[in-house]
Amino acid sequence: MSQPAPEELLLDYAAGALDPAPSLALSLHVALDPEARRTVERLGALGGALLEQEPDEALDDAFLADTLSRLDGLAVEPPARPFVPRPGFEWAPAALARHIPAGAQWRSVLGGFEEIRLNVPGRHYRTSLLRLAPGHALPEHRHVGEEFTVCLQGGYSDATGRYGVGDLAIGPGTDRHEPVADHGEPCIALIVVERPVVLTGPIGRFFNPLVRRGII
């Protein structure tokens, strides 16, 4: 069951107030969830109306002349070409595809999942793609900061519910969670985590020093 993000978070996103990594997570949710997209469209209309309401002020002619001179030799660009999904990354919408480095490959991580680390600007968040085999679980972990997860292929469940393609999960919801991938195809999700994460299970605790060093 798909559930759009809370409206106050969509407002943060539409007004451009979010950091780049959470903004990327929201942009994927918005691309994949029609109801969230309509809310963001309405917010865009609201932004346009606020702009239009600004007073009609006289313009400095030199400012216009300077701008017109900058248009010389500046062609109007042809319309954007339709997005073509990348082979091997067919589940990645356009806004994500441009963040996946050329030659990116899934890397096995201790704990039984695979990861592609993304280089999104901003130091406060870690952004990764995770791939989890059908029926497998991520090690139980606990977040001390914010977490945004957008499911891009397959689905998963944890104590808070079941998540399918386009769904956004926002943490910390419960103290701990242990996502389990649906049966069928592997679950792929974008995960944006405010540093740091603390693993809580008996095996997970063993990994904490690695997490702190940013190895996993």
Smallest distance from another protein to CB 117, Å: 17
CA distances to 2, 58, 83, 136 from 190, rounded to whole Å, are 16, 47, 20, 17
Considering only CA atoms, give the Rg of the chain: 21
Smallest distance from another protein to CB 22, Å: 9
Smallest distance from another protein to CB 125, Å: 11
Q: What share of the chain is helix, strand, coil (3-state, %, to 5)?
A: 30, 25, 45
Residue 121 or 173: the one with the smaller Cβ distance to another protein is 121
Please pick, from the candidates 2, 94, 178, 198, the single residue that binds another protein as defined by CB under 8 A: 94
Measure the CA–CA gap between 155 and 157, rounded to whole angstroms.
Answer: 7
Residue 42 or 162: the one with the smaller Cβ distance to another protein is 42
Q: In sequence order, what are the residues at sequence separation of 6 or more whose Cβ sits closer than 8 angstroms to the Cβ of residue 74?
A: none
Please pick, from the candidates 1, 5, 62, 67, the single residue that binds another protein as defined by CB under 8 A: 67
Smallest distance from another protein to CB 91, Å: 15
The amino acid occupying position 153 is Q
Catalog residues that contact another protein under the rule CB under 8 A: 6-9, 11-12, 15-18, 20, 23-24, 27, 30-31, 34, 37-59, 63-64, 66-68, 70-71, 74-80, 83, 94-95, 98, 121-122
